[in-house]
């Protein structure tokens, strides 16, 4: 794990409550459309995992659509929050950990943007190996130019 990734995780851990309070609490607009497209035509009983679940907003929406979703986050404060609010959640760092099993859908909303090119390739390979035959990996990025840290 690079220093930049450690710093990102530390920053989130230090600001869990601020993140929750400053983030839209419901899934709407383009995010809703994106999640709906990822869920489209999944089989009944599909196995889903979400990377970077944060406080569970997207997972709650997925559950409202009739799916069980495993929540993960690399920030202990988010995992504690998720568990306290009834989510099936575990600590998971995509750079250092491996998923246990095979999934029909892996969701990562604004997670992959936290990795540099080498880390992105490493994580992508791990995730693709964790998909069932015909499974999907749905991830979102933010609009912008280039790479870099925002201070």
Residue 147, φ and ψ in degrees, nearest 5: -125, 160
Q: Which pTM was predicted? A: 0.88
Predicted confidence (pLDDT) per residue in 75-102, tens digit? 999 999 999 999 999 999 999 999 988 9
CA angle 73, 76, 80 (to 5 degrees): 95
Domain positions in the chain: 3-140
CATH number, span 3-140: 3.40.50.150
Predicted confidence (pLDDT) per residue in 114-141, tens digit? 889 999 999 999 999 999 999 999 998 8
* 144 confidence band (pLDDT: 50, 70, 90): low
Residue 68, φ and ψ in degrees, nearest 5: -90, 140
Q: How far apart are CA 135 and CA 19, in angstroms?
A: 31
Average pLDDT in the chain: 90
Q: Checking phi first, is residue 35 left (phi over 0); if not, alpha (psi -120 to 50) or beta?
A: alpha
Average pLDDT of span 57-64:
96
Token pair 């497209």 is found at: 37
């Amino acid at each position: 794990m690079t220093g930049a990734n450690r710093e990102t995780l530390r920053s989130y851990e230090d600001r869990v409550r601020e993140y929750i309070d400053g983030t839209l609490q419901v899934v709407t607009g383009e995010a809703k459309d994106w999640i709906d497209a990822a869920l489209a035509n999944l089989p009944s009983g599909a196995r889903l995992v979400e990377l970077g679940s944060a406080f569970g907003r997207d997972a709650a929406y997925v559950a409202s659509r009739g799916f069980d979703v495993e929540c993960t986050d690399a920030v202990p404060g988010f995992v504690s929050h998720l568990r306290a609010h009834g989510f099936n959640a575990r600590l998971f760092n995509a750079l250092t950990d491996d998923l246990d099993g095979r999934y029909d859908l892996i969701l990562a909303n604004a997670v992959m943007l936290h990795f540099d090119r080498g880390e992105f390739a490493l994580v992508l390979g791990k995730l693709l190996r964790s998909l069932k035959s015909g499974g999907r990996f749905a991830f979102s990025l933010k609009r912008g130019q280039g790479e870099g840290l925002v201070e």
